[in-house]
Structure 1
Amino acid sequence: MVRAAERAQAVRDLVEADRELALLRELIQAASNGPEVEPLAAAAARMITDATGTDVCFVHVLDDSDRSLTLAGATPPFDREVGRVRLPLGSGISGWVARHRKPVVIVENKESDHRYLAIDSLSDAGFTSLVSVPMETDPGGLVGELTVHTVERREFSARDVELLSVIGRLIAGALHQARLHRQLVGRERAHENFVEQVIEAQEIERRRLAGDIHDGISQRLITLSYRLDAAARAVSEDSVEASVQLAAARELVDLTLQEARAAIGGLRPPVLDDLGLAGGLASLARSIPQLRLEVDLTEIRLAEHIELALYRIAQECLQNVVKHAGATMARMTFSVQDDDAQLEITDDGVGFDAVEHPLGADETRGYGLLSMSERAELVGGRLNIRSRPGSGTTVTATIPLPPTRD
C-alpha cells in the first residue's frame, strides 16, 4: 500500500512538473512576442489562471514613479479596467505585498484582513480565497505583483505559492524590459515633442521679427523714398550737388529696402505652408540667380518641424555656396528612402580640406556649417560634408523620420 501511494504521488508530481514546464514555455513564448507591458501582462494572467485552476488573475505593474501600482493585465471581465486602476504602494493587499515583497494567502473572509481595500471597479464579492505574490527581478528589483482568486474556498498549498512565485520571477524580467522599453519610447516622444516646440518657438520668433521689419523698417523706408522723390523734384536744376546726393540717398534706400524684403523672406518662408518642402526648395533655388542650380526633388510631405529644419539647412548651404564656394553650378536633391529623409547639395566650387577643417576653411563658412549641423542634430539627424581643395563640396543632411502615430 505504501509503495502504491508513493507511486501515485510520483505520478502526480510528474504531471504537475509537466504542467508547470508547459506553463513556463507559454510564458517565455508570450515574452518573446513583443516589448509591450499590457499584452504580456494579459497573456500571463490568462495562462496563470489556466495553470493554477483559479478563477481570475490580476497583474499589477509598478509605474514609472515607483510609487504606485497600475493594473496592467487581468482575465475577463476585469480586463476592461486595465490601465484605469492604480494603487499607491502599500495600499490594499496587492500594495502591501509589493511594498513588503512577501506573499499573502487568504483562505476566506478577506474583508476582515486589515490590509484589504475594496475597489468598486474590481468588485470581487463572489471570490473567497486568494494568493498574492510579488514580482521581482533577480537583482531584487520590484516590478509589481500578481494575485489569483477563487470563487470556491481553497486551501492553497506551499507548492501553489511557490509556483506563483516562480511565475512572478519569470515574467518580472520580461515586464521589467517592457517597462524600460515603454520609458524609452516615452522619452523619445518627449524629445520629439520638445524639438517640435523648440522649432515652433523659433519660427514664431522669426514671424514676429519678419512682421516687425515689414511693419516698421520697410514702411519707414518706403516713406523715406517718397520724401526723397519729393525733395528731388523740389530742388532747382541749378543745385547739381543736391540732386546728386538725393539720387545717392534714394539708391541707398532702394538697396536697404531690397535687403529688408530679402530678410523678411528668409525669416519666414510662406511657400512651405503652400507648397510643402519640395515646392519650397524649388522656390529657394529660383531665388538664387547667381548659380546654375539643378534640382531633383521628391514630392512628399513630412512633419512640419522636419520640413523647416531641412529648408533652413538648404537655405544656409546655398548661401555658403554663393558667398564662399566660387561655384558656377550646383545640384540639389531631396528624397525619402528607408524611413530617412535626405537632402544633398553639391557644388563645383573651390572646396576645402574637410579632414583638416571639418567645419569649413574659414570662420564665416565654419559658422554656417556648424549651424547646419546643429539643425540636423536637433531633429535627430546628422550632417555629412565631403570636400577637397579644387573639387567642390557635397553637403548631405540625413534625418530619420519618426514612425507614424495615431
Structure 2
Amino acid sequence: MSGPRPLDPVGALIDPDDEVALLLDVIRLTTTGPDVERLAAEVARIITATTATDVCFVHVLDDSDRSLTLAGATPPFDGQVGRVRLPLGTGVSGWVARNREPVVIVEDKERDPRYVPIPALRGADFTSMASIPMELDPGDLVGVLNVHSVARRAFTGRDVELLRSIGRLVAGALHQARLHRRLAARERSHELFVERVVATQEAERRRMAADIHDGISQRLISLSYHLDAASNAADGDELAAQLGCARDLLGLALDEARSAIGGLRPPILDDLGLAGALDSLARSTAQLPVEAQVTDRRLPEHVEVALYRIAQECLQNVVKHAAASAAVIRFEVTGGIARLEVSDDGVGFDSGAPAGPGPDEAYGLRSMTERAELVGGRLRIRSRPGTGTTVTVTVPDG
C-alpha cells in the first residue's frame, strides 16, 4: 500500500517564483463567467501547462451532495466530462471528498485500498497522483482537484499547499457558477411551465371555438333555413310576424356566437400575428376611434396571446369607464423588449391612490397584471384625473 510518504523537494510542481503567476492566472479564470464546465476545463489546462503534470481532473460535487461529477479535464479525457460520476467515499476522489483531506500517491496506486480504477480515465497509465479537496471554507466542499503524472513524482508539501490554494480560489467561482446554473434552470423551468399553462388554456379555447362553430353555429344556420321555409309557406299575418321575430333573435344569436369565437381565439392572431390582430382590434372598436401604431413583428405564441388579451381588456375598460373621445394602441420591439401601450384621453383616475379604481376596473387591472407577469412581463399604469390613462406592458422578446 502506498499513501502519503516523506516528500522529495526535487519533485516540486513549479518554481517558487512562478507560483504567483499561476495563482494570478487562476484568479483571472475565476472571473470570466458562470460556466462550470468551461471554468473547470480552463483550470485543468492551466495547471497541467504550468506544473508539467500530464493530466488534471476537476470533479464537482453534485446538487445532491452525494456524488462527484467530472466537470473538467485535459485532453484526451475532456470527452468524459459529465459522464464520470463517483459516489462520495468511492475511489481516491470520493475518499478525499468525504474526509476533506488531501491524498498523495507516489506509486503503486493499485495497492492503495482507496483506489478504484475508472477505465474511462485510464488510471493505470499514470504513476503518481495528488488529490486535493476544493473548499470554500474548512468543511464546505465544492469538489476535488486531481493531478496525475506518468513519471514517478513525489509531490511535496509545498505542492499540496499550492494545489489547495488553487482549489480554494476555484471553489468560490465554481460555487457561484453552480448557483447561477440552478437559478437559470429554475427560471427556465418556470418559463416552460408558463408556456404550457398558456398553451393549455389556448388549446381549450380553440376546442371551445371549434365546438361553437361546428355545433351551435351550424345548428343555428340550419334553423334559419327552416324558419325561412316556414315563413314562405305559412298563412296569416300573425304567424309571419312571429317568424320574423324568430329570425331576428336568430340573427342576434349568430352574432353572439361569432363574437364568442373571436373572443376565444381571434383567427387573425394566427394568420397575421399580433400586429395584424391589434390593428383589427382598433378598427373593430366601434364606440370610439382607435389609432393603431404597430410594428409587424412576430413573438412566441403565448406572448402574442397575452398581449392581445391585455390590449382587448384595456379597450374594454376605456369604452366602459374612461368617457374618452379617442384611444391609441402602440406596439414595438426594440432592444430585445416588446412594448405594448394603450392610451386614452378620458377622465382618468389617481393611479397612485391606495383605493385605486372601482371594483370592476380593479378586477380588470388585476387580470391584465397577472397576464403580463405570467409571460415574464411587467404592467405599469399612468393616470391622473382629467389627463387620461396609459397602460404599458413590457415583455422580453422571446
Corresponding residue of 1:398: 394
1:328 equivalent to 2:325? Answer: yes
Amino acid at match of 1:369: L
| Matching of residues 5-404 of structure 1 within 5 Å | 16-138=15-137, 140-238=139-237, 240=238, 242-356=239-353, 361-402=357-398
Amino acid at match of 1:385: I
Secondary structure of the residue aligned to 1:294 is: strand
Secondary structure of the residue aligned to 1:60 is: strand
RMSD: 2.1
Could you list the runs of 5+ residues in structure 1 that have no partner in the other structure?
Answer: 1-8
Q: Which has the higher contact order (CA 8 A, sep 6+)?
A: 2
Q: 1:264 to 1:193 in 2, by over 3 A?
A: same
Per-residue deviation, 1:204:
0.6
Q: 1:212 to 1:243 in 2, by over 3 A?
A: same
Amino acid at match of 2:374: L
Q: Is the 8 A contact 2:100 2:139 kept in 1?
A: no
Q: Is the 8 A contact 1:56 1:75 kept in 2?
A: yes
Secondary structure of the residue aligned to 1:205 is: helix
Alpha-carbon deviations, 1:155-175, whole Å to 9, x = none? 122222121112111110011
Separation (CA, whole Å) in 2 of partners of 1:377 and 1:16: 57
Amino acid at match of 2:42: A
Alpha-carbon deviations, 1:127-180, whole Å to 9, x = none? 001110111112632111010001111112222212111211111001101111
Amino acid at match of 1:324: H
Amino acid at match of 1:282: D
User: Percent of counterpart pairs with the same letter?
Assistant: 65
Amino acid at match of 1:328: S
Q: Is the 8 A contact 2:37 2:72 kept in 1?
A: yes
Secondary structure of the residue aligned to 2:340 is: strand
Q: Is the 8 A contact 2:350 2:384 kept in 1?
A: yes
Per-residue deviation, 1:65:
2.5
Secondary structure of the residue aligned to 1:105 is: strand
Alpha-carbon deviations, 1:184-228, whole Å to 9, x = none? 111111111111111111111111111122222222322333333
Secondary structure of the residue aligned to 1:125 is: helix
Q: 1:223 to 1:364 in 2, by over 3 A?
A: farther
Alpha-carbon deviations, 1:29-53, whole Å to 9, x = none? 1111112111211111122223433
Separation (CA, whole Å) in 1 of partners of 2:198 and 2:264: 13
Separation (CA, whole Å) in 2 of partners of 1:212 and 1:136: 62
Q: Is the 8 A contact 2:30 2:169 kept in 1?
A: no
Secondary structure of the residue aligned to 2:206 is: helix
Could you list the structure 1 runs, at least 4 aligned residues long, displaced by more than 4 angstroms after superposition: none
Separation (CA, whole Å) in 2 of partners of 1:192 and 1:324: 34
Could you list the runs of 5+ residues in structure 2 that have no partner in the other structure?
Answer: 1-8
Q: Is the 8 A contact 1:358 1:385 kept in 2?
A: no
Amino acid at match of 1:19: D
Separation (CA, whole Å) in 2 of partners of 1:291 and 1:101: 74
Per-residue deviation, 1:357:
6.2
Secondary structure of the residue aligned to 1:134 is: strand
Separation (CA, whole Å) in 1 of partners of 2:355 and 2:300: 29
Secondary structure of the residue aligned to 1:132 is: strand
Separation (CA, whole Å) in 1 of partners of 2:124 and 2:250: 86
Corresponding residue of 1:4: none
Separation (CA, whole Å) in 2 of partners of 1:197 and 1:399: 18
Q: 1:95 to 1:309 in 2, by over 3 A?
A: same
Per-residue deviation, 1:56:
0.8
Q: Is the 8 A contact 1:64 1:183 kept in 2?
A: no
Q: Is the 8 A contact 1:383 1:397 kept in 2?
A: yes
Secondary structure of the residue aligned to 1:156 is: coil
Amino acid at match of 2:307: L
Q: 1:290 to 1:357 in 2, by over 3 A?
A: farther
Q: Is the 8 A contact 2:346 2:387 kept in 1?
A: yes
Separation (CA, whole Å) in 1 of partners of 2:371 and 2:210: 24
Separation (CA, whole Å) in 2 of partners of 1:333 and 1:223: 42
Q: Is the 8 A contact 2:88 2:94 kept in 1?
A: yes
Alpha-carbon deviations, 1:295-330, whole Å to 9, x = none? 111122222221221111112212222233232311
Per-residue deviation, 1:89:
2.4
Amino acid at match of 1:119: I
Secondary structure of the residue aligned to 1:308 is: helix
Amino acid at match of 1:352: F
Separation (CA, whole Å) in 2 of partners of 1:333 and 1:141: 53
Secondary structure of the residue aligned to 2:351 is: coil
